Structure formats: structure tokens, C-alpha cells
Structure 1
Amino acid sequence: MKDPGNKITALIITYNEMGYIQKCIDSISFVDEIVVVDSYSTDGTYEYLLSQPNVRVVQNPFNNFTAQKSFALKLAKNDWILFVDADEVVSPVLQKEIVDTVNSNSTHAAYWFYRTFMFGNKVLRFSGWQTDKNYRLFRKSKACFTDKKIVHETLEVNGTTGIFREKLTHYCYKNYEDYKKKMLSYGRMKATEDFYKEKRFNYFSFLFKPTWKFVNHYFLRLGILDGKKGMIICYLNALCEIERNRELKKLERKNELAYYLVMP
């Protein structure tokens, strides 16, 4: 009989993930519980999840990534949490490493995962992503998402951490428009973070940061070796910084306008 303390809940948040979610769900079928929080998808994602007998799906309005993931965490029955994105796939070798780690009664509170980035069905080897890692397996009793970030959410861990040898497969790029939309959305959410941290728009940052991001990822982080794929990814990642600055300027203008409207 399996030790109750070694049971795993897999958590996913979704919004319009058809084309990704099927592979993800199949790859985490080894866990004891799968919970998905859907942000009212319109492409059939929710209906697909309802048809899966091993999935519990709940709909919840999306405010930001941190709030949505914190909501999902409250729904988990087990202490061990495997939190994956809808476009990530856990390989059979990684599945075994996860199960062996949990069954070893590990004393670590959380584990880092490196990721293999996919451009369509081809591996993106460089372009700044070669050292990317995230917490994906952790104990609910010893970790929580900090409310200091609303995108690229951060896990605060009370305890020691480990790192997995095998990598997650991340299907980050389906097509140009899909990835562009994602980067623009991230840019706007980062601008909201900046605004509430009272960071100010300035033209130096507007001109320098996107340029530096492209140069850094394409040349210094070897995106050039990824060929056309690297050029596209590095450009769209730089576009995220452009949108971040544009949105920050808009938020400041709206704030100033609201201030003058309430002035006596």
C-alpha cells in the first residue's frame, strides 16, 4: 500500500490550451490526483478536461498567475505537489525520477527542474533558455507563492531544495502569433508589477532594455546558433520589454488623469 505521505497531486492552470493540454495530461497520469483550474476557456479546453475521468477541473476567473496558482494549491489533497504548465510534458524517465524521489522520503522541501524548450517540434538549444529552471515539485506544507509577482510567479520555500537530473519538455512555441500574444500579455503584466512597485517609465529604459535583451539572448546567450528559430524567439522576447515599457507609460498617464479629475 502506498504511503499517504508520498502521494502526489499534479496542478495545472489553463486558458485555451487545446493542442497542448492533451500531451500534458497524458504525461502526468502517473500521479495520484490531477487538478486543473481553468480560466473559462473558449476553445474546448474545459470540455476536454471534463471528459477526462482522472481529472478534477474547476473554473475560476483569472486575475494573475500568482493568484490563480495559489487558488489551485488550495484544492490539492496531497502534500507533494507537481505544478506543471499546460504546455509542458513529463517524459517517462522524468516520471520515474519524480516517483523515486518522493518514495525515498526526501527531506527536501522543493525541487528545481531544468526545461528543454521546443520550437514547434524542434529543440531550441540556446537563445537564453539553456539555463532556465523552475520549481515544479514541492511540499505544499513548506512552500507558497509570493504575492510580490503576478507573472513568472515565485515560490517561497521553507526548507532545503534539490534539483532534478532529467528535464521537463516545454512546448513554448506553437506559432508566431501565439507566442507573440503570450509575450505581449507578459509585458503588460510585468508593467502592472512595476507600476505597483512605483517604478517610473523612462526613455532610456524604453530604448535600452529591449535592445539589450535581444543582443544578450541572440549573441551572448548564443541564439544565433538556433538559426531562424533563435532570431524569432529573441525578437519576440525583446518585444515583451517594449510592451512592458509602453504599458507602464499608459498606466502612469491613466493615474495622472485620475488624479487631476479628482482635484478640487
Structure 2
Amino acid sequence: MAEDIYAHITPVIIVKNGAAHVRRTIGALKPFRQVVVYDNGSTDDTLSLLSEYPNVKVVQGSFMGFGPTKNAAASHAETDWILSLDIDEQVNQKLLDALADWPLEEESKVGEVLRNNYFCGKHIRTNGWGKDWLCRLYNRRQHRFTDSQVHEKVKLDGRSQVVRLKGGLEHEAVTDVGQLLVKTQYYSELYANSERARLYAFPVVVFKAAFRFFRSYFLQLGILSGSRGMMIAVGEATGVFFRYSKVYQRKKFTQKSDKNT
């Protein structure tokens, strides 16, 4: 039964420069007949490493925002059942075992998976990183990701039945503190260019950033995770600050500059 399941579910991953995670993530997907990896411009060893896995189908294309790109990647799968993963997420054995009982004939069902988040090698349950349940298993005949540039999710409707799966994903969220700065730049830029971008008065931007730190470090008990909890809280506050500051700059400074020319 399990072998049949692995032939009818396709893990789909979008990636750019994910060489550091390929062996760990793809290696855990050996039971599946096909794994689709949608590469959007890797310049590291990602592609050469992927070539070592016979069940991996590499598709190369442009990045159109997370939601649209994940939908484009899923269109290349040979099955309708999609297990959506990030390159830094590894399925654990309990999740693989749980998939063996998945009802393939019930297309309205959606599998919700627990993501265990790690910061520099330590599993973090504070800062809002615990109980991170995400809908990742779905049938593309019934469901798809939203078209959001960031914070995409599987779009549910009145027919959807969400089922929590045993096991989960081991997520190497941050392996180096410098990644916090890279992610701040990357995600704030995506947000500022997205349809969700919202302009706030600058004092509100400062307040939102300060509150994000307070919520992460104190309300969500980041203080219990020591230096890691502090780094996460500062990183989240910085992300909020630059996300809305970029919108403010483009709406206020750029418009004023245009009027003066």
C-alpha cells in the first residue's frame, strides 16, 4: 500500500541556491516515484546535486512570487496529489508512515503537517515557532495555492476537509544568523512590491516593529530560548520595520521626488 501511495503523491519543491539542503531534503524523498524540483536561477551546486537522484525531475523557470511559482511547479507533477515542500524542509519517517493511509480517492481532503522549526541547530518552540501547522498535501484538481507573492497558502473552500497528519517536517529555518538579514531584505522587497503592500504613518511603522519584538520575546516566550530567542525577536522586528518602511519610502519619498521634477 505504501509503495502505491508514493507513486500517487508527488513532492514539489521550488528552489534557488539550495545546495546546502539538497542531500538532506531530497534524500528523505527516495520512496517517491517522482519529485519535482522547480529551479529559478540557482548559481550554486543545486542542479549538479539534484542530478544524482534518479526520481527527481528538474524544471527551470522564473520566480513569479511564492504562490504563482508553487502553482506553476505543481503543474509539472505526474500526479494530482501534491506534497508541497521547501528545500530546507525534510519529511520525517513518521510523516512518511502516515502517508501510507492517505485516502487518495477523497480529493476534497487536505493534509495539514506540523513543521518543527530549527534555529542554528536547536528546535525552537517559542517566538511563535511552535505549533506551526501548515496545509501541504492537496489534490490539484480541487485545490491550489493562493496567488500571493508572500505568505501564500493552500486555498480552502466549503468542500475542503483538513486532516492533521502524524509526523512532520524538520525545518532548518536559520542555520546562520546572517540569514536573518538576507531574509529581511528578500521578504520585505517582495511585500513592498505585492498587492498586499499597505501604507502606514511612520510612527505606526515604528510601533509595529516594537510590538513585534515585544510579542515575540515576551508574549511568545522567546526569552526562554536564550540568545536564540532574542535573535529571532530582533530579526522579526527588523523584518516588520523594513517591510513597512519600504512601502512608506516608495509612497512618500518617491512621490514627492516625482512632483518636484
Select between 124-133 and 2-11 the one with higher mean Cα deviation: 2-11
1:204 Cα deviation (Å)? 2.8
Contact 1:127–1:218 at 8 Å: present in 2 too?
A: yes
Q: 1:63 maps to what in 2?
A: 64
**Alignment identity in percent?**
28
Mapping for residues 45-124 of structure 1, pairs under 5 Å: 45-102=46-103, 105-106=105-106, 108-124=108-124
The alpha-carbon distance between structure 1 residues 40 and 161, as it changes in their structure 2 partners (threshold 3 A), is same
Contact 2:199–2:244 at 8 Å: present in 1 too?
A: no
Q: 1:248 maps to what in 2?
A: 247
Mapping for residues 174-253 of structure 1, pairs under 5 Å: 174-193=175-194, 196-197=195-196, 199-253=198-252
1:183 Cα deviation (Å)? 2.7
1:52 Cα deviation (Å)? 2.1
Q: 1:155 maps to what in 2?
A: 154
Contact 1:6–1:102 at 8 Å: present in 2 too?
A: no
Give the residue type in structure 2 aligned to 1:135: C
TM-score, length-normalised on structure 1?
0.89
CA RMSD, Structure 1 to Structure 2 (Å): 2.4
Question: How far, CA to CA, are the matches of 2:21 and 2:172 in structure 1?
Answer: 8
> Going by fraction, where is helix more abundant, 1 or 2?
1
Contact 2:113–2:136 at 8 Å: present in 1 too?
A: yes
The alpha-carbon distance between structure 1 residues 67 and 77, as it changes in their structure 2 partners (threshold 3 A), is same
Structure 2 residue matching 1:30: 3-state secondary structure = coil
Structure 1 stretches lacking a partner, 5+ long = none
Q: 1:36 maps to what in 2?
A: 37
1:253 Cα deviation (Å)? 4.3
1:50 Cα deviation (Å)? 2.5
Structure 2 residue matching 1:155: 3-state secondary structure = coil
Regions of 4+ moved over 3 Å:
1-6, 105-108, 257-261
Q: 1:131 maps to what in 2?
A: 131
Question: How far, CA to CA, are the matches of 1:203 and 1:219 in structure 2?
Answer: 24
The alpha-carbon distance between structure 1 residues 55 and 160, as it changes in their structure 2 partners (threshold 3 A), is same
Structure 2 residue matching 1:153: 3-state secondary structure = coil
Question: How far, CA to CA, are the matches of 1:258 and 1:13 in structure 2?
Answer: 38
Question: How far, CA to CA, are the matches of 2:124 and 2:137 in structure 1?
Answer: 24
Give the residue type in structure 2 aligned to 1:7: H
CA deviation string 1:218-239 (max 9, x = no partner): 1111111111111111111111
Give the residue type in structure 2 aligned to 1:128: G
Structure 2 stretches lacking a partner, 5+ long = none
Question: How far, CA to CA, are the matches of 1:102 and 1:180 in structure 2?
Answer: 42
1:5 Cα deviation (Å)? 11
1:205 Cα deviation (Å)? 2.4
Structure 1 residue matching 2:199: 3-state secondary structure = coil
